[in-house]
Structure 1
Amino acid sequence: MVMSSQSPILRAAILVVSTTAAKDPTTDAAEATLRSVFEQDGGNQWTVAETQIVSDDLAEIQRQIALWTEPVDTGKDAINLVVTTGGTGFAVADRTPEAVLPLLHKQAPGLVHGMLSASLVITPFAMMSRPVAGVRNNTVIITLPGSPKGAKENLQAVIKTLPHACLQASGANSRALHSGGVKKLEKEAGLDSQGPSSAQAHTHAHSHAHSHTHGHSHEHDHGHSCHRHTHTHDHSHGHNHGNLVRLSSENPKSNDPSLGPSRRHRSSPYPMLSVDDALSLIAKHTASPTATTAKVSPDLVGKVLAQDVFSSAPVPAFRASIVDGYAVVVPPSGHLRGVYPVASTSHAAPSSNLTPLKEGQIARITTGAPLPPGANSVVMVEDTVLISTTKTTHPTTGQEIEEESSVEILSDGIVKPGANIREIGSDIPLNTLLLPAKTRLSPASIGLLSSIGTQSVQIFTPPTISILSTGDEIVEPSLPRDLSLGEVRDCNRPTLLSAISQLGFTPIDLGIVSDKTNHLETTLRTALRQSDIVLTTGGVSMGEFDLLKPTIERSLGGTIHFGRVNMKPGKPTTFATVPFKDNSGNRTEKIIFGLPGNPASALVTFYLFVLPALHQIAGVSPVGLRKLPVVLGHDFPLDKSRPEYHRATVTVTNDGKLLATSTGGQRSSKVGSMEGANALLCMHAGPEPLKEGEKVDALLMGELRSELS
């Protein structure tokens, strides 16, 4: 929980329980509704720190709630409240209460009564809900209905009492909390003695009274982020967060290059945002994916399906043999041992003239070949002996050959009809869901689509991204001579071009741009015309030649949504949008990411901020790097003032542990710290080091390594 001068900021988590939404998150409306309740009715005491969607599965529900409600170390942010939505009715799949009840250390029937009482005033059908509430460790948990309307009404009924409940559950001094009596508590919560229903009626006026104080967008929560809503701000700019975040080109904050170095800012005019607030702004201002039709080919690997694909034909389309052997007609007795004439052959080749097979005859057949009409089983060639042959002419070469005339089947036991046969549609039935929308296509996906003859599919259009480096000191890495004093070989651009290509996207290389306003503006306009995202490195700090922010605001009329982030490395990371007309004359917004010039900072901030935007446009879900808990292999120092993303190697030990070790010195200019790193460790700020054996979250940039390798 983050303490302010007014009241504690409480951290809430929203768990959407819905099998439908787990497959397609766009179908869920409850999360956005609950966020609005926290923002409008929560008295500025809440931040939605985490959201997840799980299926109507007991184990999945319990696993996520247990993860959120486990005790945390002192100094780390805990989840104060978990609200679930969905699965509280009488349907067969509704099992949220059954999942939550065993997890509770204390039940809270008063909260349940408050929610039901408020809902029953609105509809008698509220009695069909089965809410549960209580405390696990230091976290309050309540279950809400799945409908956005019902979830909203239930949360509104109790939200003004929840801060008090969460403070008590977190271990606050109960005597101090209750000093002044119930009337004081009611007044502080914006309640009166008439109960939850009056609190619900009060929320409209209350939310208007506070709406000016909290402008952060929490509409998107990215699972790859590790530091949850620390609300670190530059207090010299006041507390009107909405005005701080939304900077307009009509009132630019950046330096005016024409005024000279003596008139430039001595400290950044941009507020210091938390990583989570920065990610929320990126999600808010990044376009949703758009669909296009594409021909099925190997080029689609890595692309994301925009619609469900159903099988248009069964596979196999005919009854086929699984083995090389002999097609037979199994008699009612099931006994086949004996000598049989070979009446025909069937090869794995197109054929429209298969001779029907009768009982007492067999047909030689190869793997994958169609069964002759009448055949109902296949005996493997290993279970037979050749008895006699006859001379015949080869159908293609015309040469005389020995053909099988009779074969003995050696099977002693019962032969079952259907043995060694692939029935029609046994691999892929007709009209079944082959690949659901939002599937990221793999080589196997291409094979699957090809097997049913799919010619084209709807995919999300992958984003285009242009990359340029800025700075008069930057030279091409291939420069054949020794460097002059002050020159630096460009390693950022090749690194980022490689990272983007490895992730399956196609970058556009725009080279190096000098520290001249007109040159930078011209190159940025070119980049905006040909790409969805423009990625720059360097020129985002406070020097007189750091021209990116002034060019965006003053020359391009863009909006800088954030210009500083509370993190290490990567503090000056910049995110902006620029109004632009596409080739059809339609007005749109293009994105510019200004990454720091130091190599480690550039790559870390690329993975943390740019990758989620690429994923969002491409339709990839979930966005960003995968997060998982790891164990520290040695002591790690902490930065005293900023959360740090520590470059590390995560190894799977012989006993199955995920062990993290540092790649060495973490200076932001030290490009070698990224070599060998497959993860970023999410380290909170603090005075004391984290000890060997402690657990932290890691964001995976590459494959896990094995201790044996």
Structure 2
Amino acid sequence: MEKLALKAAILIISDTAFQDPSTDKSAQILTDAFSKEGGDQWSISDRTIVPDDVIAVQREICRLSDGDDAVNLLITTGGTGFAVKDNTPEAVHPLLHRHAPGLVHGMLAASLEVTSFAMMSRPVAGVRNKTLIVTLPGSPKGAKENLLAILKLLPHACQQAAGGDSRALHAGGIRKLERDAGVTNKQPSQHAHHHHQHDHVHSHGGHVIPKAHTRPEDRPVSNDPQAGPSNRHRKSPYPIHSVNSALNLIYKNTPPPEASVVAVNTDLVGHTLAEDVTAGEAVPAFRASIVDGYAVIVSADAPSTPGVFSVASVSHAAAGEIPELQRGEVARITTGAPLPPGANAVIMVEDTLVKSTTADGKDETMVEILTGAVKPNENLREVGSDVNKGDVVLRRGEEITSVGGELGLLASVGVSRVSAYRKPIVGVLSTGDEIVSHDREEPLRLGEVRDSNRLTLMAAVRGWGYTAVDLGIAKDRSGSLEEHLRSALRSIDVIITSGGVSMGELDLLKPTIERAIGGTIHFGRVAMKPGKPTTFATVAHKPLSGDRNSARDRLIFSLPGNPASALVTANLFVLPTLQKMSGKPAPWGLPRMKVVLREDVRCDKDRAEYHRVGLKAGDDGRVWASTTGGQRSSKVSSLKGAQGLLCLPAKDGMIARGETIDALLMGSLQGL
């Protein structure tokens, strides 16, 4: 076999080494093994350390195996045992397009020659795109043993994975391949042959190797789109989760909110503050009158004196120079205007009379004060009496609303920029060959369905206060789905799809997410009605700039295609996720309230149900719930007038009219 230059990368997976790289010993040992035993065929192009975190591992795997600069071989070390944080197999397995169980068997066989504890390792090997990926133990000794067991065969595997001509590579037969690779043909011993007759064990050097009854490639997590309808799953391979379990998985895998400095204007409405806001100025910034009247000078032991006084000046709310007031003078003043220098009280206009005016009669020149009871500081607002400079006026986690006056408060205290959390951008995609645009003028052909989901979901997202981007309709072809999803991943934080998540041969979203774009599906079924096939996935996003520090995982919610299912699951799962990403404090999601049933409602014995209802506040102070009718998930009319979702438990039987039950509020109440 011709010796070619092959690029290899080493990925160290360890919390300890991530915190202190000097503690890692495996990387150098593996590099030396490539150099001494690799026959001058390898160059180590990348050595990276990541923590024991599934998403962090997957992000690096995608970086190293996707694109034109992908490496030929990616070796990982660490995280293959049974410890709680050993998640490397779980991170790698979903990203593989093809599995390589032979390499796994070879590594285990070599390790078992040394110690029976090799059975405690869980290696994975396979190909992603054109990159061969092999996971090794975290122990430097074990990692080297495993690598040396397969190293001489890896160039051939990498050439094939890269698209080499198999006919040319295999010319001369297996003996020539063995000679080129520098390996010897291992003839089975009589002892080994004897044990090979048994179904469950093989013997190597006196150690027993467990033999699984299924192969890794026979345990897929999603349908293979290339396998055809006869080979698709007859039962979903995804475990079913409760609603609470699904929400916990979503929260665990939702990226933390991102803060940025933004201008104080109407675009700030709907954002949540990332930091406390302090007043830049006092309010009021000057001593101001709270009434229309006359500014005067009084003392504590000498309240205002009734009598006739000269009007020395006028103080309006408009800015300007105001002369200092002298004893025996008064100054006309309007509400909110600053007190003239020297004045310390205001007499209401109702407690005065005009005694003389200017020639044109427009302004008074002399006024009579009728009361002697006005004391110092009466009818005044002191500097900072509303807000002192430096006071905290809004707290981290508070939302800027359109009705709460937060914008006015910020403006009044001289704050022009604040730190606020960015609101995620949401893309909405419909899927299916049968789906056509809702506004297409041509009549429907047999089997076609107008797209109501995209319109409904985008309206819901915008009603929640987020930007919704129309991603169009993707056909039931993996290439079309992959193209739409990859395009959206460049700029969209959260992708909502509807359709394509059930068990049919054309339900391709799960395999496209897992196999084509390297996503991780965290759940694929939920024990709820409607919405059982609801799917949640994350995709490790590698920005075009190559800056790994700015990478931010993308979220995909694949909702069922039936209209009621799509809207219900969007409210239950997507809304709280957007709120969490926006920095809003928990609890997230629709507000929960107690309602009284107007009619009997039957429960489902196996699944919790979210029953669409209209809500109306009664004269008795209680909120009454009325069903919107048949609750079939495909029944669009059940959404009309639905302001809430009854939270029906999974049980056999009815909940009777007049009973009180929890409901989630989707809209405004009637009767208020």
Which of the five TM-score ranges fits, normalised by the shorter chain? 0.5 to 0.7
Counterpart mapping for 1:672-687 below 5 A: 672-687=637-652
Unaligned stretches of 5+ in structure 2? 1-81, 87-121, 129-216
1:382 is matched with 350
2:226 counterpart SS class: helix
1:426 is matched with 385
Q: Please tell me whether residue 301 in structure 1 is matched to residue 260 in structure 2.
A: no
Kindly provide the CA deviation profile for residues 87-124 of structure 1, in whole angstroms up to 9, marking residues without a partner as x.
xxxxxxxxxxxxxxxxxxxxxxxxxxxxxxxxxxxxxx
Q: Please tell me whether residue 537 in structure 1 is matched to residue 498 in structure 2.
A: yes
1:291 is matched with 259
Q: Please tell me whether residue 620 in structure 1 is matched to residue 584 in structure 2.
A: yes
Q: Are the aligned partners of 1:292 and 1:458 in contact in 2 as well (CA < 8 Å)?
A: yes
1:630 counterpart SS class: strand
2:340 is matched with 372
Counterpart mapping for 1:663-702 below 5 A: 663-702=628-667
2:12 is matched with none
When Rg is computed on C-alpha atoms for both structures, the one with the higher figure is 2
1:561 is matched with 522
- Measured on the aligned residues, the alpha-carbon RMSD in Å equals 2.3
Distance apart, 1:253 and its partner CA: 1.4
Alpha-carbon distance in 1 for matches of 2:346, 2:431: 70
Q: Please tell me whether residue 519 in structure 1 is matched to residue 480 in structure 2.
A: yes
2:190 is matched with none
Distance apart, 1:321 and its partner CA: 1.1
Alpha-carbon distance in 1 for matches of 2:316, 2:620: 51
Distance apart, 1:672 and its partner CA: 2.1
Q: What one-letter code is carried by the residue in structure 1 that aligns with 2:406?
A: S
Q: What one-letter code is carried by the residue in structure 1 that aligns with 2:318?
A: A
Paired residues, number:
457
Alpha-carbon distance in 1 for matches of 2:612, 2:362: 70
Q: What one-letter code is carried by the residue in structure 1 that aligns with 2:538?
A: T
Counterpart mapping for 1:307-706 below 5 A: 307-331=275-299, 332-351=301-320, 353-391=321-359, 402-411=362-371, 414-443=373-402, 444-585=405-546, 586=548, 587-622=551-586, 623-706=588-671
Kindly provide the CA deviation profile for residues 560-600 of structure 1, in whole angstroms up to 9, marking residues without a partner as x.
11111000000000011122202332254221110010111
Kindly provide the CA deviation profile for residues 288-308 of structure 1, in whole angstroms up to 9, marking residues without a partner as x.
111111111110000011101
Q: Are the aligned partners of 1:646 and 1:666 in contact in 2 as well (CA < 8 Å)?
A: yes
Question: CA, structure 1 residues 435+676, in 2 after alignment: closer, same or farther (shift >3 Å)?
Answer: same
Distance apart, 1:693 and its partner CA: 2.2
Q: What one-letter code is carried by the residue in structure 1 that aligns with 2:646?
A: L
Q: Alignment identity in percent?
A: 54
2:246 counterpart SS class: helix
Alpha-carbon distance in 2 for matches of 1:672, 1:581: 42
Distance apart, 1:365 and its partner CA: 0.6
1:274 is matched with 242
Distance apart, 1:639 and its partner CA: 1.5
Distance apart, 1:697 and its partner CA: 1.3
Kindly provide the CA deviation profile for residues 430-473 of structure 1, in whole angstroms up to 9, marking residues without a partner as x.
11111011111124111111112212111111111111100111
Q: Are the aligned partners of 1:252 and 1:553 in contact in 2 as well (CA < 8 Å)?
A: no
Q: Are the aligned partners of 2:531 and 2:566 in contact in 1 as well (CA < 8 Å)?
A: yes
Alpha-carbon distance in 2 for matches of 1:663, 1:417: 66
1:194 is matched with none
Q: Are the aligned partners of 1:327 and 1:372 in contact in 2 as well (CA < 8 Å)?
A: yes
Q: Are the aligned partners of 1:492 and 1:597 in contact in 2 as well (CA < 8 Å)?
A: yes
1:628 counterpart SS class: strand
Q: What one-letter code is carried by the residue in structure 1 that aligns with 2:237?
A: P
Distance apart, 1:686 and its partner CA: 1.9
Question: CA, structure 1 residues 676+417, in 2 after alignment: closer, same or farther (shift >3 Å)?
Answer: farther
Distance apart, 1:210 and its partner CA: 11
Alpha-carbon distance in 2 for matches of 1:310, 1:274: 43
Alpha-carbon distance in 2 for matches of 1:349, 1:210: 69
Q: Please tell me whether residue 258 in structure 1 is matched to residue 223 in structure 2.
A: no
Alpha-carbon distance in 2 for matches of 1:346, 1:580: 62
Alpha-carbon distance in 2 for matches of 1:281, 1:642: 19
Counterpart mapping for 1:50-129 below 5 A: none
Q: What one-letter code is carried by the residue in structure 2 that aligns with 1:334?
A: P
Segment of structure 1 superposing worse, 401-410 or 425-434: 401-410
2:442 counterpart SS class: coil
Alpha-carbon distance in 2 for matches of 1:409, 1:486: 88
Alpha-carbon distance in 1 for matches of 2:231, 2:635: 32
1:193 is matched with none
Q: What one-letter code is carried by the residue in structure 1 that aligns with 2:643?
A: N
1:349 counterpart SS class: coil
Q: What one-letter code is carried by the residue in structure 2 that aligns with 1:564?
A: R
Q: What one-letter code is carried by the residue in structure 2 that aligns with 1:389?
A: T
Question: CA, structure 1 residues 510+657, in 2 after alignment: closer, same or farther (shift >3 Å)?
Answer: same
Question: CA, structure 1 residues 479+376, in 2 after alignment: closer, same or farther (shift >3 Å)?
Answer: same
Segment of structure 1 superposing worse, 484-493 or 669-678: 669-678
Q: What one-letter code is carried by the residue in structure 2 that aligns with 1:596?
A: P
Kindly provide the CA deviation profile for residues 240-261 of structure 1, in whole angstroms up to 9, marking residues without a partner as x.
xxx9xxxx99964111121111
1:198 is matched with none
2:95 is matched with none
Alpha-carbon distance in 2 for matches of 1:610, 1:403: 65
Q: Are the aligned partners of 1:252 and 1:554 in contact in 2 as well (CA < 8 Å)?
A: no
2:46 is matched with none
Q: Are the aligned partners of 1:339 and 1:409 in contact in 2 as well (CA < 8 Å)?
A: yes
Q: Are the aligned partners of 2:278 and 2:391 in contact in 1 as well (CA < 8 Å)?
A: yes
Q: Are the aligned partners of 1:560 and 1:575 in contact in 2 as well (CA < 8 Å)?
A: yes
Question: CA, structure 1 residues 311+663, in 2 after alignment: closer, same or farther (shift >3 Å)?
Answer: same
Distance apart, 1:359 and its partner CA: 3.2
Alpha-carbon distance in 1 for matches of 2:85, 2:226: 39
Distance apart, 1:209 and its partner CA: 12
Q: What one-letter code is carried by the residue in structure 2 that aligns with 1:517?
A: S
Question: CA, structure 1 residues 317+520, in 2 after alignment: closer, same or farther (shift >3 Å)?
Answer: same
Unaligned stretches of 5+ in structure 1? 1-207, 213-242, 392-399
Q: What one-letter code is carried by the residue in structure 2 that aligns with 1:431?
A: G
Q: Are the aligned partners of 2:524 and 2:536 in contact in 1 as well (CA < 8 Å)?
A: yes
Alpha-carbon distance in 1 for matches of 2:563, 2:327: 77
Alpha-carbon distance in 1 for matches of 2:370, 2:431: 79
Q: What one-letter code is carried by the residue in structure 2 that aligns with 1:482?
A: P
1:39 is matched with none
Question: CA, structure 1 residues 371+209, in 2 after alignment: closer, same or farther (shift >3 Å)?
Answer: closer
1:668 counterpart SS class: coil
Distance apart, 1:401 and its partner CA: 6.3
Alpha-carbon distance in 2 for matches of 1:684, 1:611: 22
Alpha-carbon distance in 2 for matches of 1:692, 1:347: 65
Q: What one-letter code is carried by the residue in structure 2 that aligns with 1:433?
A: V
Alpha-carbon distance in 2 for matches of 1:634, 1:333: 75
Kindly provide the CA deviation profile for residues 311-369 of structure 1, in whole angstroms up to 9, marking residues without a partner as x.
12101100111122111223534244332211111011111x32222333211011111
Distance apart, 1:384 and its partner CA: 2.1
Distance apart, 1:611 and its partner CA: 1.0
TM-score by length of 2: 0.65
2:529 counterpart SS class: coil
